[in-house]
């Protein structure tokens, strides 16, 4: 059995946000597009990743105004980055070990996609379906 590659299941051309944008804008994008992770860019370069959990954590701090506090203050500055060709098993193992909800998929300095735990579940289901089909034959 061939292990699928990340590019087969990643969410392509993900929404991104600038590091200087207010947290309220990150919330708006996440709510509107029903997503939980945003790669954070500055000058077209990846500088971090912000999740809905990151935003919530910062907002629980005293005197935080989501209209004024920037995404940079809530983001994780060193997101897990993978290439689209990487096998899913290695990526999922690293995500599980590091307790990560996503990986940013890049080639050179370009963000191509994002691979989340939901994408991993879709991949797992596809592998199980393929296995079941082989057993039925």
Cross-strand pairs, 105: 82, 113
Query: Domain residues of the chain, as ranges?
Result: 6-136
pLDDT, residue 95, reads: 97
Whole-prediction pTM value?
A: 0.90
Give the position of tokens 């005197």.
63
As a whole number of angstroms, the distance between CA 99 and CA 8 comes to: 22
pLDDT, residue 45, reads: 96
Q: 6-136, what's its fold?
A: CBS-domain (3.10.580)
pLDDT, residue 25, reads: 95
Which pLDDT tens digits describe the chain residue by residue (137 residues)?
A: 688 999 999 999 899 999 999 999 999 999 999 999 999 999 999 999 999 999 998 888 888 888 889 999 999 999 999 999 999 999 999 999 999 999 999 999 999 999 999 999 999 999 888 888 888 77
pLDDT, residue 86, reads: 97
**What 8-state DSSP symbol labels residue 78?**
S
């Amino acid at each position: 059995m061939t292990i699928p590659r990340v590019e087969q299941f990643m969410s392509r051309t993900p929404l991104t946000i600038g590091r200087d944008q207010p947290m309220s804008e990150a919330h708006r994008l996440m709510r509107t597009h029903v997503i939980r992770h945003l790669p954070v860019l500055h000058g077209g370069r990846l500088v971090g990743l912000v999740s809905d959990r990151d935003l919530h954590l910062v907002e629980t701090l005293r005197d935080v105004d989501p209209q004024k506090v920037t995404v940079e203050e809530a983001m994780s500055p060193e997101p897990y980055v993978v290439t689209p060709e990487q096998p899913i098993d290695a990526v999922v193992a690293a995500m599980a070990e590091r307790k990560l909800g996503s990986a940013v998929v890049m080639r050179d300095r370009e963000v191509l996609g994002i691979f989340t735990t939901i994408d991993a579940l879709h991949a797992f289901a596809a592998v199980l379906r393929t296995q079941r089909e082989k057993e039925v034959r």
